[in-house]
Structure 1
Amino acid sequence: MRETTVDKLHIFIVMFFISLIMRMQVPIFTPFAAGFGASSLFIGVILSFTSFANLTGNLIAGPLVDRFGKKIFVILPIFAASGFFIAHGFAGDSMDLLLLHGLNGLALGFFIPAAFTLLSGYAKNSRQQGKNIAINGILSTIASIIGPLVGGKLVEVIGFVNTYYFIGVALLVGGVYAIMFLRERQMVVVHHPQQGSDSGGLTEVLKSPQLLMVYGIGFAVMYIHGVIIYEIPYLAVEQGLSTFNTGQLFSYFSIGTFLTLSLFFINRFDSFKRLMTGLFGMSMCLFALFNSFYSLPILLFFIGLFFGLIMPAMATAITEYAARDMQGRAFAFMSAVYSLGIILSSFITGAIRETISPYFIAFLIGMLALTIVGYVKLRTPQTVTQQI
């Protein structure tokens, strides 16, 4: 038992550290790209291309993770991303950023499904799975609070180029730690009578109406998240805010997420109800943001609050509806859906922000997803998940 706890601790440390390093570059990329003369539309293209590359990596990673194990697909992407971030410091124009950011997205597309599948091996049932995901979510949220502030401050102190060097070297250190301490373990046993023992492929994942509903909510959530990621850093460009101020705005979002994730009793409630409630709350916050009912920091806090309700429920729902030998593919497709949401939100936001509020479009997408998923839920027979 002690060995299991120590091994799980190492997974949490690696995922927290990588999340912290990755969050450092969130508030700095947009002004960095704008410094090369990239327009808002081209920045949207870069972010969309990166997410498309990430989606490609997700889809490739799923079957490979199930077949060859998780650890290798956690470690290799970290080293690859390290090199690509260092290469950002040598970029000569915005086209270089397009290529490097895309390659970075492709590499990290392998990391997320492998890391989540690895973490899922340290739970005996879906409740423990929800707790593990919530703990990881808390650590990730702490990283989301600290990372943007550190990244924004580093730019003010050492400049954009040296900040990217720092991020790359830090990832290198994280990769070495992962090699030394990560261990694979599989303890989850989830039986689904309707799926039997069929391991299937990606098409088997898509045959589950429950998973499709979860993916639909995931797409809408990440579209909303993508709009936030795009719009907030752009304030630094349009309103002359410092990267540190931009990082502070992201921290309001992260504090709200942290608060929800800290309430472990929430994991006792049905995961699907948490998903629907969280998406509805995010959509209402966007409606208020579009109409300027409240200040931006307050609304970002509440969006983060509902985001924290959704993310553990998303991972729990995947483990409830996907058989154990399909979880790598199920998590990979979840990551791919996330990437698709970011792709469309980045591109659409960059294209329309001069004529219509991206917050309003995100609100419509959130409400449309709620309507469709709610309708499908009412017409889908209930299934029984038996945990062993």
Structure 2
Amino acid sequence: MIYFVYFIVVIAFLDTFSQLPIIAPFAQSLGASSLVIGLIVGMYSLANMGGNIIAGQWIDKFGRKRILVLGMFFVSVCLVGYTFVTTPSQLLTMRLIHGLGGGLLVPSAFAFLGDYSRSGNRGKTMAFSGAGVGISAIIGPAFGALVTKSLGIVWVFYIISALFFVTAIFILFILKENYTPKQTKQTGFNSSEIKKLLGLPPLINAYIGAFSLMLTLGILAYMLPLKIAEAGQSVAFSGMLLSTFGIVAILVFVLPTNKLFDQVKREKMVITGMVFVCIGLVILSSFEQIIILFIAMFFYGIGFACIFPSVTALVIDHSTKHERGKAFGLFYAFFSLGVVVGSFIVGAINVAPNQGLLIGAVIMICLALTIQWRIRVNETSQ
């Protein structure tokens, strides 16, 4: 059953990754300004934050399966809505609605995985889930770019919509609920548990790691296609570059290197990954040669591979079964916030692609130092 959940993770992230190389150019083709393009790219994730937090409450209250199925059907309908968009404002609205529905998916899937995992192999379990994300990162950008080039952008939305609809049907008949909600009289928003989860030092480090990872991905999604376009390359090439880091990450996840995620302290793996991501972004911002751009994405892939399983395992380690939905809801809210902040910053200040990528590197290294400082303060206080 856990392998079916891995498959769901692949599908859930395929939606996001397939749009990475096409949303910024799509918005640009509708006449959007630099600032509006940044808002459009980031709006999905901004709305996703709200969806994540709502999902966290519902997942623990109603169970994982119901919210997962609801999210799948909702996103399927939203994707068809993109095909009717003709103006930047309509695209911005569609991204808002899509983000709210999409926020229900990933916390539900990872709450399932957290319930299935055992304390001794949580890092490895999350590494395999990361492989699912990596598969989406390989297939998604290449799929989005190639389908757009050959059939038109609307077919990206039609095909992914159909895939989500079929997956929702499979979940209804195949996936068994493995969680029994706690009987409680509370009916509203449980702010006390949210405050508790936001106050745990290991979870704060996980949230910072998630935020930093997706901040750089948001900048990458905005700046890399524009950098490639300025160099005279096609959108398909930017898709290939974005897929490269997924290939590298999957190799780290499925090879014996995945043992490191249960042998090395989680926060150390996170900081190591952040350094690799920083190196990749600096190289991307400094060179134009094709082979060097692929090397940069190799470094980014290693960084992604170090960060993702470690931060998700931290969430499982420091949350109980009856608060895991909320913990992952908050976790993916910070994921979404990272994309919002990253794309908005580079869009608002209207920088060139190379400058935007360098800004991402500077922010990443600052956040890595923040986690390191927090670890030292926490060790000193104990």
Cα gap change, 1:282/1:163 in structure 2, threshold over 3 Å: closer, same or farther? closer
Alignment CA distance shift 1:383-1:322 (3 Å)? farther
CA 1:259 to 1:322, structure 2 compared with 1: closer, same or farther past 3 Å?
same
SS in 2 for 1:350: helix
CA distance in 2, matches of 1:379, 1:251: 38
Tell me the alpha carbon deviations over residues 238-290 of structure 1, each in whole angstroms, 9 at most, x when there is no partner: 44432321211111121221122122222222211101111122123323333
- Work out whether residues 122 and 186 of structure 1, in 8 Å CA contact, stay in contact via their aligned partners in 2: no
Match of 2:245 in 1: 253
Whether 2:337 is the aligned partner of 1:333: answer no
Q: Secondary structure of 1:325's match?
A: helix
Q: Flag the 1:63–1:100 CA change in 2: closer, same or farther, 3 A.
A: same
Partner of 1:269: 264
| Aligned counterparts of 2:235 and 2:103: Cα–Cα separation in 1 | 27
Q: Which residue of 2 aligns with 1:128?
A: 121
Q: Tell me by how many angstroms 1:103 deviates.
A: 0.8
Measure, in 1, the Cα distance between the counterparts of 2:15 and 2:333: 22
Aligned match of 2:184: none
Asked if the contact 1:223/1:344 (under 8 Å) is kept, the reply is: yes
Q: Which consecutive unaligned segments of at least 5 residues does structure 2 have? A: 181-189
Match of 1:101 in 2: 95
2:283·2:293 contact (CA, 8 Å) conserved in 1? no
Q: For the structure 1 residues 164 and 114, does the alpha-carbon distance in structure 2 shift closer, same or farther, using more than 3 Å as the test?
A: same
Bigger shift: 47-56 or 235-244? 235-244
Q: Is structure 2 residue 15 aligned with structure 1 residue 15?
A: no
- Contact 2:27 2:40 (8 Å CA) reproduced: no
Could you say if the C-alpha distance between residues 379 and 101 of structure 1 is closer, same or farther in structure 2, counting changes exceeding 3 Å? same
TM-superposed CA distance for 1:200, in Å, is: 4.4
Partners of 1:128 and 1:13 in 2: CA distance: 19
Q: State the 1:312 CA deviation.
A: 0.5
Alignment map for 1:225-236 (pairs within 5 Å): 225-235=217-227
Q: Go from structure 1 to structure 2 and tell me whether the alpha carbon gap of 1:380 and 1:364 turns closer, same or farther (over 3 Å shift).
A: same
CA contact (8 A) 1:199 1:325 kept: no
Secondary structure of the corresponding residue to residue 178 of structure 2: coil
The count of corresponding residues between Structure 1 and Structure 2 is 367
Corresponding position of 1:156: 149
Alignment counterpart, residue 51 of structure 2, candidates 57, 75, 97: 57
- Please point out which of 158, 165, 186 is paired with 1:165: 158
Match of 1:303 in 2: 300
Give the superposition deviation at 1:359. Answer: 1.9
User: Deviation at 1:202?
Assistant: 0.4
TM-superposed CA distance for 1:211, in Å, is: 1.3
In the alignment, the residues of structure 1 paired with residue 244 and residue 361 of structure 2 have an alpha-carbon distance, to the nearest angstrom, of: 20
RMSD: 2.3
112, 122, 126: which is aligned to 1:118? 112
Kindly provide the CA deviation profile for residues 142-193 of structure 1, in whole angstroms up to 9, marking residues without a partner as x: 2221222222221222111233222222221121111121112259xxxxxx
Return closer, same or farther for 1:9/1:199 CA change in 2, 3 Å cut-off.
farther
* Residue 194 of structure 1: aligned partner: none
Residues 235 and 241, structure 1, Cα contact 8 Å, conserved in 2: no
Relative to 1, partners in 2 of residues 1:117 and 1:77: Cα closer, same or farther, differing over 3 Å? same
- What secondary structure is seen at the aligned counterpart in 1 of 2:106? helix
Cα deviation for residue 334 of structure 1 reads 0.8
Q: CA separation in 1, counterparts of 2:315 and 2:161?
A: 32
Query: For residue 202 of structure 1, what is the aligned residue in structure 2?
Result: 194
Question: SS of 1:26's equivalent?
Answer: coil
User: Which amino acid in structure 2 is aligned with residue 368 of structure 1?
Assistant: C
CA distance in 1, matches of 2:321, 2:287: 46
Query: 1:345 deviation in Å?
Result: 0.5
Following TM superposition, by how much is the alpha carbon of 1:353 offset from its aligned partner in structure 2, in angstroms?
A: 4.1
- The 1-side partners of 2:381 and 2:313 are apart by 16
> Normalising by the residue count of structure 1, what TM-score does the alignment of the two structures yield?
0.88
Question: Equivalents in 2 of 1:320, 1:310: separation in Å?
Answer: 15
Q: Residues 131 and 253 of structure 2 are in contact (CA less than 8 Å); yes or no, is this contact kept in structure 1?
A: yes
Match of 1:66 among 60, 64, 70: 60
Q: Are the equivalent residues in 2 in contact too, given 1:16–1:139 (CA < 8 A)? A: yes
- Match of 1:92, SS? coil
Would you say the 8 A contact 2:202–2:318 is kept in 1?
yes
Matched residue type, 2:285:
F
1:361 aligns with 2:354: no
The answer for the alignment partner of 1:211 in structure 2 is: 203
**Which deviates further from its counterpart, 87-96 or 152-161?**
152-161
1:360, distance to aligned residue in structure 2 (A): 2.2
Rounded Cα–Cα distance in structure 1 between residues aligned with 2:9 and 2:213:
21
Q: Distance in 2 between matches of 1:107 and 1:88?
A: 14
Q: 1:284 matched to which residue of 2?
A: 279
For the 8 Å contact 1:74–1:111, the answer to whether it is kept is yes
1:292 is displaced (CA, Å) by: 3.1
**1:104-144 superposed Cα distances (whole Å, 9 cap, x missing partner):** 1111111111110011111121x322222111211221222
Corresponding residue number in structure 1 for 2:183: none
Are the aligned partners of 2:35 and 2:350 in contact in 1 as well (CA < 8 Å)? no
Hey, what does 1:80 align to over in structure 2? 74
Could you give the per-residue CA deviations for residues 321-366 of structure 1, whole angstroms, max 9, x where no partner exists? 2233222111111111111111110111112243681122212211
Name the TM-score, length of structure 2 as normaliser: 0.89
Show the counterpart of 1:315: 312
Partner of 2:172: 179
Q: Secondary structure of 1:273's match? A: helix
